[in-house]
Amino acid sequence: MTDYEVVIGLETHIQLNTITKIFCSCKADSWFDPPNTNICPVCCGLPGILPVLNRVAVEKGVLLAAAMHAELRPLSYFDRKNYFYPDLPKGYQISQYDQSLAFGGYMDVPMPQGYVRRVGITKLHLEEDAGKTKNMGAERYIDFNRCGVPLVEMVTAPDLRSAEEAAQYLTRLRQLLRWLGVSDADMERAQLRCDANVSIRPHGADYLNPKTEIKNVNSIDAVRVAVEKEVDRQVREMEAGHRIESWTLEWDEDRQVLRKMRSKETEADYRYFREPDLLPIHLTEEWRAEILARLPELPLERRQRFLDQYGLPEYDAEILTSERRLSDYFEQAVQAYGGDPKRVSNYLMNDVLRMMNESGISADQLRLTPAHLASILKLVDAGTINNSTGKSLLQKVQETGTPPAAIVEAEGLAKVSDDAAIRTVCEEVLKENPAEVQAYRGGKATLMGWFVGQVMKKMRGKADPALARKILEELLG
Ligand code: ZN
Ligand code: MN
């Protein structure tokens, strides 16, 4: 059997999270609204309408292009892409064709196996979304709410080499979109849509075989499964001596199968021509500089910096940079604390994230500020409270918003390091448990932990456990 190489390119449509649509002032996000409630003559394409470009949509597109290391065109144009479909009331989609907002670019995607795949970008442009058609029994309904929602279409070069690489690319793209704040990138809500172009060739070949296009793969898992299945099919076809035909396939999520849809239109079928009702986008030096000043450190760069600057393990750096707010939180806490960053990371990842998960709150709903977290760590370091009190403080600060030191003061949580006080309790515990004392003296040394536990319990967790152990050893010795 021939050794095949898999060649995948992904075409993504990214819904920008603007408040209004790209060419009119209708509300852009209609997910929770009844059909045909956010529409107007412009997005429904009534005669005589004139589109007006949404400045914020352009800025979000520019930000994304810059983050993908793409070249920005100072002058870019809109074009009409003509086709007939019921959910496209104008009979054309306003898109960008040969002179788009940006060109080139790439993303370096780290793979779990340790290597980095550079994925080139061949196309990046702005366009408007179409509506939705919905089949209900024998009837077909059309919802124009989504018409005119701003999209960035972004197409990769055929640089991905497995279904897993495609899934990793999408995961990193989703992370980047949220990080930049340009899209909510929720695939279930179709804010990030993906079509996959798949072909195979003998390993080492430098030509491309005909590809198939898989439509409607709208979760990262679906991309993994659908591409895997299509690769298997193509290998079987090639091994049987058949040619691969350029089909468009549709992924059926319910049945987990690929279905042949239609043969694909060619570019010429769309009769692209310049949109006469819109001026070109003139991205002046000043405007461009103003937008790029908002470009944050990117998630993968920050991940690397967390490894280098704070000496964090890969696992920690990955989780702490999964979300921009969380990673900002971490850095602010490290700064306020001034001690070992790994201590901050441990508290954040084990305890704060658990608390967030359990109570279903996000990083921006935390009342426990980075400064609060830092002061809890300092209280533990100074020996004022023990570790378990520190952890219970997280929840208390979150619930009340009160600074940790004030809670320690008000509730008398300070660790008791007073030798005499602990000694009295130790003596009590030994007196109350003669059988255990006898067993311990008879050689059952493991009971020491139990004795310490009894002392801690009597002192409501405030005793210094090391001191309690020392005193117990002395009394029992
Ligand atoms: Zn409208
Ligand atoms: Mn498109």
* Burial call 421-455: b when 16+ CB within 10 Å, e when fewer: ebbebbeebbeebeebbeebeeeeeebeeebbebb
Query: What pLDDT is attached to residue 265?
Result: 62
Which ligand is in closest contact with the Cα of 83?
2
Residues 270 and 404 grouped into a single domain: no
> Does the structure show a pLDDT above 90 at 14?
yes
What does the alpha-carbon distance between residue 354 and residue 455 come to, in Å, rounded to a whole number?
Answer: 28
Residues 429 and 407 grouped into a single domain: no
Residues 107 and 148 grouped into a single domain: yes
Which ligand is in closest contact with the Cα of 38?
1
> In the structure, what pLDDT confidence band is assigned to residue 289 with cuts at 50, 70 and 90?
very high
CB 196 within 8 A of CB 213: yes
CA distances from 271 to 24, 79, 133, 266 (A): 25, 10, 24, 10
Residues 368 and 321 grouped into a single domain: yes
Question: Which domain CATH number covers 455?
Answer: 1.10.10.410
Residues 366 and 279 grouped into a single domain: no
Residues 328 and 458 grouped into a single domain: no
44 CA distance to ligand 1 middle (Å): 7
165 CA distance to ligand 2 middle (Å): 23
- How many structural domains does the chain have? 3
Q: Which residues surround ligand 1, an ion (CB under 5 A)?
A: 24, 26, 40, 42-43
**% residues pLDDT > 70 (the chain):** 98
Residues 389 and 351 grouped into a single domain: yes
Which ligand is in closest contact with the Cα of 49?
1
Selection from 225, 270, 70 nearest residue 155 by Cα: 70
The stretches of 6-105 forming alpha helices (DSSP H) are 55-67
Range of the domain at 277: 4-291
Tell me: the pLDDT tens digits for 382-404? Answer: 888 888 888 889 999 999 989 99
For the chain, helix, strand, coil in percent to 5 are: 40, 20, 35
Question: What is the three-class DSSP state of 65?
Answer: helix
Residues 276 and 309 grouped into a single domain: no
Which ligand is in closest contact with the Cα of 270?
2
Residues 287 and 303 grouped into a single domain: no
29 CA distance to ligand 1 middle (Å): 12
Last residue of a domain, one of 275, 291, 307: 291
127 CA distance to ligand 2 middle (Å): 7
Query: What pLDDT is attached to residue 228?
Result: 96
Residues 127 and 242 grouped into a single domain: yes
What does the alpha-carbon distance between residue 107 and residue 322 come to, in Å, rounded to a whole number?
Answer: 17
Comparing 281 with 413, the larger pLDDT belongs to 281
Rounded average pLDDT over 423-451: 91
98 CA distance to ligand 1 middle (Å): 26
Place of tokens 């054309």: 92
Taking each helix axis from N to C terminus, what angle separates 55-67 and 163-180, rounded to the nearest 10 degrees? 130
Last residue of a domain, one of 374, 391, 411: 411
> Does the structure show a pLDDT above 80 at 1?
no
Residues 94 and 72 grouped into a single domain: yes
Residues 286 and 172 grouped into a single domain: yes
Tell me: the pLDDT tens digits for 147-199? Answer: 999 999 999 999 999 999 999 999 999 999 999 999 999 999 999 999 999 99
Which ligand is in closest contact with the Cα of 194?
2
Query: What pLDDT is attached to residue 463?
Result: 80
> In the structure, what pLDDT confidence band is assigned to residue 34 with cuts at 50, 70 and 90?
very high
Last residue of a domain, one of 244, 270, 291: 291
103 CA distance to ligand 2 middle (Å): 15
